[in-house]
Chain A
Amino acid sequence: MNTQHSPEERLWDYIDGISSPEEKTVIEQLLESDEEWRAKYGELLEVQQILHSSELEAPSMRFTKNVMEEITKLHIAPATKTYINKRIIWGIGIFFITLIVGFIVYGFAQIDWTVQSDSKIPVDFSKVDYSKIFSNQLVNVFMMINVILGLFLLDRYLANKRKQFREEA
């Protein structure tokens, strides 16, 4: 039962036809048994009827003609999706992925793989000279741009997912 809403809200939902079947049954029972609910229902129905009787306003007689005169000078813009070429998007994506892979490969190339260690991991991370990789300001800026672009892509992806989820719901 929809008890968290006020009787008025529940009645409006009933009038609008958006109550669940169970709620509809409950309200119908209340309308039969409760005088107060019946009175409120009558009052809201009256408002509903009044609202339906409101009229649309009309623009001037020349309205359509004015619009048509205006659009004769125009062309329909191409659909947004058609001027965003997917190949360009993929190209940019591949460029940045290549860069990131390049940095990782470069980083690993700096590691001395011959160093013996007690650790089971073949790489002694404590001896990796990170300063060689990240000392360059330009490299740091570039990495930052990549991270920001990555976050943008993630944001777009999640926004699309949310939209899809809403549409399915």
Chain B
Amino acid sequence: MSTGLNDNELISKVLSGDQQAYAGLVNRYQNYVFTLALRFTKNREDAEEVSQDIFVKAYRALSDFRGASKFSTWLYTIVNTTCITFLRKKRLEVHSLDNEKVFEVADSLDSGMRANMVEQKSRVSMVNTAIKMLSTDDAEVITLFYKAEQTLEEIAQILGIEANTAKVRLHRARTRLKEKMELHFAQEVKDLN
């Protein structure tokens, strides 16, 4: 089995012709890639299609991976570019960092989610719902930092920005998430403490 091997060992196997070894990488990163894709697409069907496309692209370009960065960082760069292309194709608005419309969209999303809120008492559901209310940019940077365990330098590389800009983005995203939680889940946060 390939599961005990690290990323670079799996990549070497794939590059030397063992196509099945790629399943090890897919299994390892599918949840990360799918979660990030979901932050962009906002629906599971599209996220699944985009994630599949990302893994296919990564496979085709695998010989370009030189090991200068972590495989995950390289893969998330593909996630970022593929998702942006997907959104452009779908002609959805990619919200900029300072776009106040983000909050309007979040509020409209919130009305749809309100129906499920009664049942979503757990901390996990609450934070996941709050992240969904954020803009794509904010949700992506939070997911990369907290779930995909990327450093600020790696996030900067993935997003094609300066490390300091990544830091500012993360800071703003956390502030907005905090605001969302205080606004929509004040009681739940209180209950959890």
Minimum Cβ distance to chain A for residue B88 (Å): 23
- CB under 8 Å from chain A, chain B span 84-115: none
A interface, by DSSP: helix, strand, loop or mixed? helix
Chain B residues positioned under 8 Å from A53 (CB to CB): 123-124, 127
Chain A residues positioned under 8 Å from B124 (CB to CB): 53-55
CA distance A79 to B68 in the complex (A): 14
CA distance A56 to B72 in the complex (A): 15
Structural contact, A71 and B22, CB atoms closer than 8 A: yes
Q: Looking at the complex, which one of B47, B51, B61, B181 makes contact with A50 (CB distance below 8 Å)?
A: B181
CB of A46 closer than 8 Å to a CB of B: yes
Chain A residues positioned under 8 Å from B44 (CB to CB): 57, 59
12 A-B pairs, CB-CB below 8 angstroms? A12-B170, A46-B189, A51-B142, A51-B177, A54-B131, A57-B31, A59-B44, A59-B48, A59-B51, A67-B26, A67-B59, A76-B62
Minimum Cβ distance to chain A for residue B71 (Å): 15
Structural contact, A74 and B34, CB atoms closer than 8 A: no
Structural contact, B52 and A66, CB atoms closer than 8 A: yes
Give A74's nearest chain B residue, CB to CB: B60
CA distance A51 to B177 in the complex (A): 9
Chain B residues positioned under 8 Å from A63 (CB to CB): 26, 30, 34, 48, 51-52
Structural contact, B59 and A76, CB atoms closer than 8 A: yes
Give B56's nearest chain A residue, CB to CB: A70
Minimum Cβ distance to chain A for residue B27 (Å): 6
CB of B6 closer than 8 Å to a CB of A: no
Asked whether A56 and B174 contact (CB < 8 A) given A50-B123, A77-B63, the answer is no
Q: Which of A8, A18, A71 has the most chain B CB atoms inside 10 A of its CB? A: A71
